[in-house]
Amino acid sequence: MTTIAPSLTSSVVLVGAPGAGCTSVAEALAELTGAPAADLAAIVAEELNITPELALVAVPEPRYREVESATALALLSEATARPGVVALGSGCLGDEDVVAALSQLREAGGRVVALTASTRRLSTRNGLDAPRSVGLGNVHHEFVQALHEREARCRELADALVDTSDTTPVEAAGVVLGS
């Protein structure tokens, strides 16, 4: 018996704090549906000619955010025109032009899905669960505060919320398709 994969009739944009799974869930959604997927962070790093892991470290943040916002707008324009999956993350959600583009995507039938996970899971996924020197200050506390701010913004802009704490990317993609 052959299983027919669902197809996307409109775009899905994934937003979420670092470590929530936007990239991996977007890849799984693309594989499940055959839709094209775009990862904002990877495209920005490529445009800046640096690896994604080092992009926010090696490039001044204002420059990174400038390229990130312009790239996000281009991806959202494309997603409004034709179905696909976009891993947007949360860094660009402070840009009101990006927020307006998300509204336009919705008006065209697209969906914005916020991915979340427990603070412990996000800390682990971001490598903040290891012991740190007290000289660095309370890195975990700063991270948690930033997470709460970003998660609140993601939830405010989303049509649905999917918790990825205890799911694989494929399982989370299935939940996104069902939401």
- Strand 12-16 with 37-39, pairing: unpaired
Rounded CA-CA distance 173/175 in Å is 5
pTM attached to this predicted model: 0.87
Nearest Cα to Cα of residue 92 among 101, 84, 83:
101
Nearest Cα to Cα of residue 48 among 36, 66, 26:
66
Rounded CA-CA distance 122/105 in Å is 28
For residue 72, the surrounding DSSP H or E stretch is helix 61-81
pLDDT tens per residue across all 179 residues of the chain: 334 456 678 999 999 988 899 999 999 999 999 999 999 999 999 999 998 878 878 889 899 999 999 999 999 999 999 999 999 989 899 999 999 999 999 999 999 999 998 878 877 766 666 655 555 556 667 777 887 888 899 999 999 999 999 999 999 999 999 87
- Predicted confidence at residue 80, as pLDDT, reads 95
